[in-house]
Amino acid sequence: MDSAAQLLRESEMRVADIGAAVGYDSPSKFSAAFKSVWGVCPADYRRTLQ
């Protein structure tokens, strides 16, 4: 999940593409897993960095 967070911080990749890049076959599964680790969904995590 650290790799996904880094991609959210440092790239313009879509959330679904980041999920696929880190091994998730479903964007919803990736979002749920990311939220369980970081406490926010990937899109909200990215928004807080702007």
Domain around 17: 2-48
pLDDT for the residue numbered 50: 81
What is 1-50 written as a DSSP string? -HHHHHHHHH----HHHHHHHTT-S-HHHHHHHHHHHHSS-HHHHHHHT-
pLDDT in tens, 20-42: 999 999 999 999 999 999 999 99
Q: What is the CATH number for 12?
A: 1.10.10.60
pTM score of the predicted model: 0.91
When divided into structural domains, the chain yields a total of 1
